[in-house]
């Protein structure tokens, strides 16, 4: 398998595992906040989702890539790390903007048509995740994060 495809697979694995963790915690949060106003439920659930996703993604991304930034002498290649961090943050940031808007609106809409809060959270999360994966993978491609595949 080409190295770039392997890196895309690892990136997507990290995103999916992080989304599963965020999905679980945010569905529980939505259920616990069922008695609150819909806009509060949607907003708090999105905030919890964001915190869980990024903390788990950062840990997984670090674990999978820590050797990539080590030079022969054992020191860290800070310039390569800085460049790749800029590329991944740009890609994740663009995806996050689309994700947050789609997730908040989807959950709010589903709550207004009387879906159970946990189910509204799960559905909104799944739909938004699909959109997010598309945007992030396009962003990674456009920023040439895995540029050695040229």
Backbone angles phi, psi at 59, to 5 degrees: -65, -45
3-state secondary structure the chain: CCHHHHHHHHHHHHHHHHHHHHHHHHHHHHHHCCCCCHHHHHHHHHHHHHHHHHHHHHHHHHHHHHHHHECCCCCECHHHHHHHHHHHHHHHHHHHHHHHHHHHHHHHHHHHCCCCHHHHHHHHHHHHHHHHHHHHHHHHHHHCCCHHHC
Q: What is the pTM of this model?
A: 0.72
Distance CA 18, CA 101 (A): 19
Total number of domains constituting the chain:
1
Average pLDDT of the chain, as a whole number: 86
Residue 150 has a pLDDT of: 42
pLDDT in tens, 55-100: 998 889 888 888 888 888 888 888 887 887 888 888 888 888 998 8
The better pLDDT of the pair 127, 148 is held by: 127
Q: Work out the percent of the chain whose per-residue pLDDT is above 90.
A: 34
pLDDT in tens, 114-129: 999 889 989 998 999 8
What is the residue range of 94's domain? 3-149
Residue 52 has a pLDDT of: 95
Residue 19 has a pLDDT of: 87
Distance CA 70, CA 58 (A): 18
Residue 75 has a pLDDT of: 86
């Amino acid at each position: 398998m080409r190295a770039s495809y392997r890196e895309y697979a690892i990136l997507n694995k990290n995103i999916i595992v992080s989304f599963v963790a965020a999905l679980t915690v945010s569905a529980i949060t939505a259920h616990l906040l069922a008695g609150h106003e819909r806009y509060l439920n949607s907003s708090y659930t999105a905030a919890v989702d964001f915190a869980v996703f990024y903390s788990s993604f950062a840990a997984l991304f670090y674990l999978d890539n820590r050797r990539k930034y080590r030079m022969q002498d054992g020191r860290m290649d800070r310039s390569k790390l800085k460049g790749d961090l800029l590329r991944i943050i740009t890609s994740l940031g663009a995806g996050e903007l689309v994700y947050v808007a789609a997730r908040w609106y989807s959950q709010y809409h589903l709550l207004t048509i009387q879906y159970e809060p946990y189910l509204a959270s799960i559905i909104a999360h799944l739909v938004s995740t699909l959109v997010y994966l598309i945007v992030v993978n396009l962003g990674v491609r456009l920023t040439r994060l895995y540029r050695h595949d040229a």
